[in-house]
Amino acid sequence: MNRSPETINLLLTRRSLLAAKLVEPGPTQEELQTILRCGARVPDHKGVNPWRIQVADRATQDTFHSQLPSLHSGNPASLEKTLSKEAKTAPLLLIVSSQTTSDRAPRIEQLLSGAAVCQNIIIAAAAFGYRSQWLTEWFAYSDKVKTLLGIPTTEDIIGFLYIGSESEIPKERPRPDLSQIVSKLQLP
């Protein structure tokens, strides 16, 4: 049996850091390739490979974020919230989307496989010593944003993954008490 206490420790101590507090340096090209390879090693019922990953450097992010106000059509308060959050400094953004049109696996499984890609990316980035934040917000559900990003409107954006170095140590947040979320299955 191959045990890895380092992996367990990483999972127990990994924390997100607000994207606005992520700074240079970001992953090297070699590290990014490894992170992406880790991202693609997820459960994927029927081998559909429904997910796609777009890589955006700092300049591309700035262009993307500057175009969000013209694409917003909802509550003005949500736009203000986005704009304040979108003053990003993260050196890297990965946009994960999932095509859920295959009839070989249920749609929910294709979405969950995309979520597993996001989780693997976050864990792999943490293993290299980087912090990250997984965001969606209104722009993950906007057909206008999908069009801007070249993502078909029939696809789902699973997450905007901001990755970089920490400008401060992230605060721990309360975690659920296992007794509140875990129970023993008892069948009649």
pLDDT tier, 84 (very low <50, low <70, confident <90, very high otherwise):
low
| Phi, psi dihedrals of residue 147, rounded to the nearest 5° | -60, -45
Give the per-residue pLDDT at 85.
Answer: 57
- Stretch 165-183: mean pLDDT: 92
pLDDT at 110 over 70: yes
Give the per-residue pLDDT at 86.
Answer: 53
pLDDT tier, 68 (very low <50, low <70, confident <90, very high otherwise):
confident
Q: In sequence order, what are the beta bridge partners of 161?
A: 94, 134
Shortest CA distance to 20 belongs to which of 78, 65, 60?
Answer: 65
Give the per-residue pLDDT at 40.
Answer: 97
CB 156 within 8 A of CB 111: yes
pLDDT tier, 91 (very low <50, low <70, confident <90, very high otherwise):
very high
The string of pLDDT tens digits covering residues 35-59 is 999 999 999 888 888 999 999 999 9
Structural domains of the chain, ranges and CATH numbers in brackets: 15-169 (3.40.109.10)
pLDDT at 73 over 90: no
CB 28 within 8 A of CB 164: no
pLDDT at 78 over 70: no
In the chain, which ranges are continuous DSSP H helix? 5-13, 29-39, 58-71, 76-85, 107-127, 143-149, 178-181
CB 153 within 8 A of CB 58: no
The span from the CA of 72 to the CA of 144, in Å, is 8
Give the per-residue pLDDT at 82.
Answer: 64
Residue 73 makes CB contacts below 8 A (sequence gap 6+) with: 142, 144
Give the per-residue pLDDT at 81.
Answer: 65
SS3 call for 169: coil
**What distances in angstroms separate CA 115 from CA 44, 139, 174, 176, 187, one per listed residue?**
11, 17, 22, 21, 30
Give the per-residue pLDDT at 89.
Answer: 80
**What distances in angstroms separate CA 50 from CA 42, 118, 124, one per listed residue?**
11, 13, 20
